[in-house]
Structure 1
């Protein structure tokens, strides 16, 4: 079938005339503010050429490579060639190209798109490709200057390809609409007595540490990955800036920039309009193109700008579909020009700028282009819902053997993929682009009538009508069902734009009146006049605009298909069921990965994929296999000089007496249910037996007392929070929400607490391991230390047990996304982001303690003033307990993407250094030396998988497995390492990236250090999957979030600084810093 020919069939959509006579004005407003994305099939394509299948080995051999090690291919200090000079201006943290010649090796910067998690971008909402028949018969002419391209500085800028802003946008000039998305963060430090901010910020350092060579192999094991190498031919890709504007002729309204705004049909409009424009000028028959449905167009051949630079499409030239979408009498103007801000051309075979270790010079355009290109066939076929460039879910999984599973409550579990492209340090010192594809599942709303969805959520059964709602039931329905329906996309008919529900009305429809012809008329009467039967006892759907509210009954609305269910809309039961159905064994996951490759038309090397062929790209038939290393696990030392060895397959060990047993002076065991008194006494006796065997000292008899939860806070108020005479309360009950309130009391009154579920208390005496875990927590909470770690010999010189290394972990916990109507109305977010901290600053050098702080909502970057203040406090406690400054500071960070490493290195590390320098200058001798810094980013949130073949079947890898070559990043040290035993499902090796290495740590030191930190959990006698400081930082962030929510339930008014919430004051009230429990692990 030829590509890009004809307009396609005109669709004769049957219009829904129900309710056409009422609320036309309202519906026009609904259409103008709708907040959804529509999808539609892109133009089909085929190709006369064919592409052979290639194995991973063949592709590695065929790829255009740069000789020498990957680090040698990374240029951090380069000269401009005489032939190709650039005009470059520098700003803080960023260098920008002002002008480029046409050359190889220059690419646009990737902008990571983050669409809504509950609505699809659609089958064609990310990009659209059109490939002309016979276009792959000849490659583009190679650039003769390719040999010098690797010597030039690759300086990049960022651009949001799918600018998602609220409301329609008036057309702007290029200078108005373009601009940097990099934003400097300024902050004012909080004034603390005795802790001045004395040292200015250091200059940004944006060059990552050189990539380390692999560690020496201890035990070799072959693992199979989900990484498929790509081979790309030496072709040029051309980049153009696109503008699409609509001018209403009848109303004389303002010109609308269709490339921007929140119009849910915006991207489909752009796709169809650009296709129509190129078809009119006969360009799509002669070249292939990839369009991001916004402002950027990629082609495999240069366009004749004399023909396509300015195109006008009159209303009579529009297809029926476009006429309906644009409103009929609209003229469209399209301009296509060579890219101004970025290089107009780049070569597919030039990888050097994609892997530079200079964060300011990284150019992600090739990676972005390949990610879009490998999605095109699926978009063309219309087989997937698309969320961002790499998350796609099957519309009909039955076709590839992965059917949907009903979750109940109007939800279903859908199979999909998490896909991306990365540049890896391939074998033989080459740099290889590779496709990474992992199988995943997610819950989606059923695309049914809104009334049916509400009924299923309320009743828990299908085809069961909602019982009549009286006053009490109405309020419950409003809260329970309204939470699920808010922000959901719905539409009145297939021909109308969808919109997001703001919320449900607080009163039933029978009591709602809306203006009609300047009179207030009952909503029920309006629909009765059109013979539309509606329920009067149900709430109405509300669309809240800036100046008005629109009301619609559920009966006339339908749920838009392809909407994911966000986590906050899932009940505990639904979440548990989703996890249960998503957990699959390794052999099943590997099978699903191969099925998804076929569903995306990337199987068999992509030889049937005409889009890949048009740009000269091939995919390996098979995933890479690499030789992994299995390291020796650390040893564990308890009291009485007892040392245990971790089991190599289980990553657990036998315990002994505690290394540092706690002494508890005041121990209160409080319970809620009066029927539990005998069970509590039995439980406490069993608890004391385990505690005594571990060396713990209970100086006084535990005081057992029944305290109903409603009286618990008053009980706390009577107790002392003297740090020299700490009080420990163990509270036992069955309530779900009481845990958060108990921990709030702990923070407010500085009394150590431990919460035990009543059911656990009743069963624990017959479960020794459960009892021991409870006692392990008791000891850790009460200033004790259960054991210490003996790492591999490689890490001994830098190990925290020596007292010379400070390890800091921090992470950010964000609130739920703000509702669309709240963002539209400019309402401030009323819940903060929370930063959790953890560090080994307690009395024992291996004890990790921590805290949390609140800052502006939905910001991943931690405010500089918070980091400065906390770094000052952390190094202060460390120095007080060790007697000297740390020689090494290792910063472990979780929760950042590759694109955010620059933020960590340039902003956050700088703030931590300032805080430590402030302490040194304020309190140390002039000869005191600043420590060396190492930054390690560890995350499990990636899509790389590793399988081990045993007895002909794919299985999980074992503890100690490390992959540090071939499939790792080519521009920076990266390690995939497993410390723990996988209990169920398919395991994931956490990824460790080291962008900063001032201490010149070796690969052996890095791996053995991070491995040992995974054994410092103290609560269970087994390794955890990530280093303890990162685990604790995440837990502290969650604790801060839950404490705030509990605090908010009791405080009507939050303290404010002007119009903004004063998060500093809330932090001071709820945090642990400078308080009695600051020096213990109270969140164990």
Structure 2
């Protein structure tokens, strides 16, 4: 008999497993929830969500238009305009004060006196307009406020009770509550979408940057209640103080003369600094004692003493002479460069000060990655304490905005609830691979100096590889060729020459090329992968030289995990009894995943570290404004075997800033053909039963607001692909979300794993999930660093009518077959593979073509120029070599779990 408390908890789960009461007239985008899961042992947990009351009174929704509207003003400036409007221009109209989202929406708890047409225009003047000479007078902004709707919060009560569809009224009501809770911190602290940051906990990381602890907050509907999801986040800030100090810190120097062109400041270094500080605000003092805010546009090519400008009365004067003779303020460092602001005025560095709290919105420098991770990573208990401490900063009870709208938050009491822990699937591996490959006539090419990586190092590596191979059942011969090469040479020609030696000897190309890379060998790696995957179709395995020194057998056994699948083997499969939905012989099943990544994702493997803390839930971090011509890359990964352990992939280029996978129909058709071909030719299934009867389709992370669009277009494309091949398959369409802030915390010490996290297999499908739709959270991996992030699964379509238990166990099982890891990972393995294929799109371009994948070199936003750039990317995208199409060439190292903000640091920073 189990302990009494455990038995009671189990009974509670079972008793609540019946279908929730959702009204029949309620429309949903995804599948309606029909039941809760029951499998697994009970686990009490704490979740970083807090109950919030719904207002009782009408909320008034207004549209905001700010003139002149020749350009979009920064959110911070819009917020300041509305503050001045409410406090100084018309306090009688805006009492109690309204809340504003910084763009178009203003909400009030009372009806505003806006005239008979419910619309009124106000003139607002900012006292210290930026970059406007005092002689011109302050700039006047006209703000038109128009009432557009009245929101009855009753719609939220009905929605969370399952009696109301998720229509525009519900969406607007949720938006209003979010604007209400964010208004107070937005007015007081630096902010970024749904997070704001304070300097109460910060860290200087050098390079002119410091990290600030932040707090994320979002109102979300759940089953029977409204919640506020609160989490900690991290923000990268420019270091405040004298601008000279910031510039020196960027270069890691202390002598100001390095900022003087006359003392040898290279132009490339000046431009690097310019990219770093352009767009930030600086303050300067005027002769009459005022402080004016300026925006840095660029840096001058010459120092203040050598930089001249034309005078209105004729003639010219250097910047240095102007400040000495006209302003009466001789410069202490006249040789230093100046900043140029939007009006074209030039200001010496020494007169500028960087105010605190400016978010650095550019990519985090790769050399700062470890420091950033150390700051962002918190163990579960510590993270929960920080979240609870953050409630003092959020101060919901003290916020006049929250009080005015009649909202109250259960402060200090995060939700406690019952989760379940699923049993892991049984894997067929038994220390040996399920289907080991063979490695005849292979080559080793070394790009490390021979003095550093000598014959003894090579012999040790060969012994390690053969020992690791033997431990998992792979037969590997002695290498046919061992060759040292110069990494500064033509990598493709060098590898071709090695391949020719083997071909001349065996009349076959090499089965594998093991390439040893030096530190910082990213460019060589890209060339190797382009040669192997794209040009020649030869499996390649890159190793870091420093990891090979004195490496243990386990290291080489892990390398064999990748080599085996690259050569057509299968490492492990789930036992059929563990996941019957995948292995039912009467219902052959194909698993598909589509993924999507922007161009910039390829150039910086750590660019998502902080973006995800403030993202809207979308998987794609889009190119920066002005880079519309840079493409996005899409991938489709699909299983081809009956055990859903062997996968193939397609990759394509498409329009930037577009979430929908444009070529899904053709990509899915190719995947279905390969599935049928593999089952017919390799597994020897009869042609009439080779086609799939089930398709389980995972869509890698689109935002909730795009569910309908993705479902309408991509499900249709998938059905068309099936129809073109006369396949009549039942489709289950699931979105996997990773960019959210729900975290699980063990309530009892005895329930923690070694990292302090909830155990792998923790699943939640009630209390914090959607009021009416079929979704669940699954933390499928054991913790390594920080607080583990569960994946969020939303079932949008399900012809197969799977039960919650079936889909939860199926998804958990797929997290155990990631070819590169012997432990479960945080998302289903094929979802990982799709992400890898997208990240490797860079390898489809000739390394000599010098395509720029970053956002630092943006293209003209003109539509014609953008289209030309996109077509250039498409034209130069080289398809995968046919020899690699049937192999898992994409089996590369990824971190096996997504903890805190550790987001797949990608192959480019870990060249295994």
1:944-981 residue CA offsets vs partner (Å, 9 max, x unmatched):
11111334998410111111111111132121112211
Which residue in the other structure is 1:159 paired with? none
**Counterpart-to-counterpart distance in 2, 1:782 and 1:769:** 20
Q: Does 2:820 match 1:1030? A: no
Which residue in the other structure is 1:996 paired with? 797
Which secondary structure state, in structure 2, belongs to the residue aligned with residue 770 of structure 1? Answer: helix
Instruction: Name which of 173, 193, 197 aligns with 1:393.
Output: 197
Cα displacement (A) at 1:275: 4.0
Distance 1:264 1:528, change over 3 A: farther
1:330-381 residue CA offsets vs partner (Å, 9 max, x unmatched):
6665544431xxx43322563445778967767311111111222234346x
Which residue in the other structure is 1:146 paired with? none
**Counterpart-to-counterpart distance in 1, 2:441 and 2:169:** 58
| Residues 660-679 of structure 1 aligned to structure 2 (within 5 Å) | 660-675=436-451, 676-677=453-454, 678-679=456-457
The answer for unaligned runs of 5 or more in structure 1 is: 1-67, 78-205, 246-255, 398-402, 426-430, 643-654, 921-927
Distance 1:590 1:824, change over 3 A: closer
* Kept in 2: contact 1:413–1:441 (CA 8 A): yes
Q: Does 2:628 match 1:834? A: no
| Residues 724-803 of structure 1 aligned to structure 2 (within 5 Å) | 725=509, 727-736=511-520, 737=522, 738-746=524-532, 747-764=534-551, 767-790=552-575, 793=578, 795-799=579-583
* Kept in 2: contact 1:850–1:1078 (CA 8 A): yes
1:516-557 residue CA offsets vs partner (Å, 9 max, x unmatched):
447676555555544442756655445579xxx665443333
**Counterpart-to-counterpart distance in 1, 2:676 and 2:747:** 49
Distance 1:363 1:262, change over 3 A: same
Which secondary structure state, in structure 2, belongs to the residue aligned with residue 852 of structure 1? Answer: strand
Instruction: Name which of 588, 591, 598 aligns with 1:804.
Output: 588
RMSD: 3.9
Instruction: Name which of 933, 939, 962 aligns with 2:731.
Output: 933
Cα displacement (A) at 1:1042: 6.3
Which residue in the other structure is 1:614 paired with? 404
Cα displacement (A) at 1:1041: 3.9
Cα displacement (A) at 1:236: 1.5
**Counterpart-to-counterpart distance in 1, 2:271 and 2:66:** 43
| Residues 101-250 of structure 1 aligned to structure 2 (within 5 Å) | 207-245=29-67
Cα displacement (A) at 1:1008: 1.0
* Kept in 1: contact 2:780–2:812 (CA 8 A): yes
Q: Does 2:88 match 1:266? A: no
Q: Does 2:234 match 1:441? A: yes
Q: Does 2:692 match 1:886? A: yes
Instruction: Name which of 570, 593, 596 aligns with 2:365.
Output: 570
Which residue in the other structure is 2:147 paired with? 338
Cα displacement (A) at 1:939: 2.5
**Counterpart-to-counterpart distance in 2, 1:600 and 1:609:** 8
Cα displacement (A) at 1:419: 1.0
* Kept in 2: contact 1:241–1:338 (CA 8 A): yes
Instruction: Name which of 669, 677, 684 aligns with 1:872.
Output: 669
* Kept in 1: contact 2:281–2:296 (CA 8 A): yes
Which secondary structure state, in structure 2, belongs to the residue aligned with residue 375 of structure 1? Answer: helix
Instruction: Name which of 278, 281, 290 aligns with 1:486.
Output: 278
Which residue in the other structure is 1:12 paired with? none
Which secondary structure state, in structure 2, belongs to the residue aligned with residue 208 of structure 1? Answer: coil
Cα displacement (A) at 1:1068: 6.5
**Counterpart-to-counterpart distance in 1, 2:349 and 2:131:** 25
**Counterpart-to-counterpart distance in 2, 1:935 and 1:1031:** 17
* Kept in 2: contact 1:469–1:538 (CA 8 A): yes
Cα displacement (A) at 1:943: 0.7
Query: Please, what TM-score do these two structures have when normalized by structure 1?
Result: 0.68
Which secondary structure state, in structure 1, belongs to the residue aligned with residue 221 of structure 2? Answer: strand
Query: Please, what TM-score do these two structures have when normalized by structure 2?
Result: 0.80
* Kept in 2: contact 1:377–1:611 (CA 8 A): yes
* Kept in 2: contact 1:835–1:862 (CA 8 A): no
* Kept in 1: contact 2:421–2:763 (CA 8 A): yes
* Kept in 1: contact 2:306–2:335 (CA 8 A): no
Q: Does 2:632 match 1:854? A: no
1:25-57 residue CA offsets vs partner (Å, 9 max, x unmatched):
xxxxxxxxxxxxxxxxxxxxxxxxxxxxxxxxx
Which residue in the other structure is 2:898 paired with? none
Distance 1:274 1:637, change over 3 A: same
**Counterpart-to-counterpart distance in 2, 1:750 and 1:239:** 60
- Give the paired residue count: 816
Instruction: Name which of 480, 489, 493 aligns with 1:714.
Output: 493
Distance 1:824 1:964, change over 3 A: closer
**Counterpart-to-counterpart distance in 2, 1:824 and 1:682:** 45
* Kept in 1: contact 2:258–2:264 (CA 8 A): no
1:238-273 residue CA offsets vs partner (Å, 9 max, x unmatched):
22334454xxxxxxxxxx249954586233113312
Which secondary structure state, in structure 2, belongs to the residue aligned with residue 565 of structure 1? Answer: coil
Q: Does 2:429 match 1:634? A: no
Distance 1:235 1:1048, change over 3 A: farther
Cα displacement (A) at 1:452: 1.1
Cα displacement (A) at 1:801: 8.8
